[in-house]
Amino acid sequence: MNRKYLWLTALLISVMTVLSACGGEGGNSSTASSGQNSSASSAPADNGQPKDGGSIIIAVSDDPKALNPLYAGDRVTLTINQALYSPLFNINDGKKTFVLAESEKVSDDHLTYTIKLRSGLKWHDGQPITADDLVFSINSILDEKQNNPFRSMYVFNGKPVKVSKVDDLTVNIVLPEVSAAFDGALVQLYPIPEHIFKGEADIEKSRKNSNPVGSGPFKFKEYRPGEYVTLERFDDYFAAKPHLDSVTYRIAKDPNAANLALQNGEIQMRMVDTQDYKKLKDTGKFNLLVYPEGRLQYMVFNLNIPSMQNVKVRQAIAYALDKNEMIAASYSSSEFAEPAPSILTPDTLYQTSDLEKYDYNLDKAKQLLSEAGVSNLKLRLAYSNTNKPQESQALYVQQKLKDAGIEVELVPMDVTAYGNKTLDMNNKDFELNFGGYIMGYEPDAYKSLYMSNEAYNYSHYKNPEFDALWDKGAVETDEAKRAELYKQIQQTVANEMTVYPIAYTKAVVAVDNSYGGIEEARPKPVVMLEDLSKLYKK
């Protein structure tokens, strides 16, 4: 729920949100511009010179799924892992910034990627970070027994990449065929230490994830499930010692309680709902960062259930809803969201709005239901019971579909149970559910959410011809042909209506204005701030 970039956020995540849907709320994506609101009268004096010391408490909505970046797809896990681990490089606004990697070279035939690591890098336990760790990390992703959600990004038309060590700091990755998408896989790669995980039969469920050894600006100190995860400063971080002594992620599932703690100063940073923007702004206590997340918020049709397998029923539901009304009901204002015509977000290559938009048409909805031979349809709509926009949208959908003769039972769920259920490939507990994801610049990252047998394919739509479009899009190097392939992909989803795109949303992050360095820390989709090492107490 990230990835990222989190190109996934299946979570992904689903994620990356519930990665997507949970998560799937899932990506590393371009760093977005931010707007700040602060009150000089309540903010401590700041001479612009960062000082060391102090701590920050950041609210997150759930426990992390796994403190291991190879399995990070949901927003919470990606947020914490962002400080625990470092990537090879980042891509922000189309510009590549090297982190663990010193350089990347691509051969003239575009088949060999040579990655050279910086010298002197250290894991949090003091061991050196070497080419062996990078080779091990990629091979772990490729190992089918490890069930890694990113594996498909390293496999082209059924053929995996091959990775080999050149010297202690250099690795060659050889592709089986030319790919225009491979940087999208590498940008979300956060290596893990071979000396910790070598020989582990199931890395995702390894006990070693409970005491992670990372490479980021902060190292693991303590995790109390249901309460908090605390990290402390890593003095040997290659990019300079962080200013703060520690970062604590408080698990705050109740958004109302979290907002109260934020206003009382018990929490100093939190991603907030748009409905709370004005109230927090009026206090004068916070910098409020508002920026495009590159995020799609959507509704899924669960094709595991027979009533959802008729395309005319799915199209009828789409025509019975009004996206502008849904946005007004759930995000307060069009300032925070805009109607989404496509499953790709505006910051993604080849995104197009030239698709069937399913403008509200109740007569058309009723006609399609009649043609499908459906009457007295009863559906269940699941959503996270702590997500205010989803709750508002659920009530809207229930009322709007009633006009079309469809009865909707609302199924609010605990965020953890909701995430687990959406990941159940055999789920038949509800016909409809909400989700969101952030996938970033490279459209190939999206295939983990849509191809037939992918873990984050929440609609469970299976179509070999559709899968073939994704495979072709990953390796096509002709820009015009590649654009056409991704237009076909977007049009297929629109025609089949397996996913109903609702809105492209903006993030709202509240940071106590006693902290400086926010601009340098860079507001970023999914994880709030990209580099916490730059934050400091004024």
> Are residues 211 and 193 in contact, defined by beta-carbon separation less than 8 angstroms?
no
pLDDT at 347 over 80: yes
Instruction: For residues 274 and 233, give the distance between their C-alpha atoms in angstroms, rounded to a whole number.
Output: 32
* pLDDT digits 0-9 by tens, 30-48: 333 333 443 333 555 566 6
pLDDT at 3 over 80: no
Per DSSP, 128 falls in state: B
Domain ranges of the chain: 299-506
pLDDT at 56 over 50: yes
> Are residues 444 and 184 in contact, defined by beta-carbon separation less than 8 angstroms?
yes
The predicted model gives 420-429 an average pLDDT of: 93
Q: Can you give the pLDDT at residue 14?
A: 36
* pLDDT digits 0-9 by tens, 259-318: 999 999 999 999 998 888 989 999 999 999 998 888 999 999 999 999 999 999 999 999
Q: Can you give the pLDDT at residue 74?
A: 84
pLDDT at 532 over 50: yes
> Are residues 140 and 170 in contact, defined by beta-carbon separation less than 8 angstroms?
no
Q: 197 or 35, which is more confident? A: 197
Q: Which residues are paired to 13 by β-bridges?
A: 11
Residues above pLDDT 90, as percent of the chain: 73
Other CB atoms within a 10 A radius of the CB of residue 376 amount to 7
Long-range contacts of 471-478 (CB under 8 A, 24+ apart): 471/156, 471/157, 473/181, 473/443, 473/444, 473/447, 474/156, 474/179, 474/180, 474/181, 474/444, 474/447, 475/156, 475/157, 475/177, 475/178, 475/179, 475/180, 475/181, 476/180, 477/110, 477/178, 477/180
What's the whole-number average pLDDT of the chain?
A: 89
Lowest mean pLDDT segment, chosen from 30-44, 96-110, 226-240: 30-44
* pLDDT digits 0-9 by tens, 199-228: 999 999 999 999 999 999 999 999 999 999
The predicted model gives 9-22 an average pLDDT of: 36
> Are residues 84 and 216 in contact, defined by beta-carbon separation less than 8 angstroms?
yes
* pLDDT digits 0-9 by tens, 429-482: 999 999 999 888 889 889 989 999 888 899 999 999 999 999 899 888 889 999
Per DSSP, 417 falls in state: H
* pLDDT digits 0-9 by tens, 498-530: 999 999 999 899 999 999 999 999 888 788 999
Residue 87, CB half-sphere, CA atoms under 13 Å: how many?
Answer: 28
Q: Can you give the pLDDT at residue 12?
A: 37
State the alpha helices, DSSP H only, in 143-267: 182-186, 194-197, 255-263
Q: Can you give the pLDDT at residue 216?
A: 97
pLDDT at 16 over 70: no
Topology of the domain comprising 299-506? Dipeptide-binding Protein; domain 3 (3.10.105)
pLDDT at 97 over 60: yes
The predicted model gives 411-435 an average pLDDT of: 93
The predicted model gives 134-146 an average pLDDT of: 97
> Is 158 in a helix, a strand, or coil?
coil
Q: Can you give the pLDDT at residue 152?
A: 84
Q: Can you give the pLDDT at residue 47?
A: 62
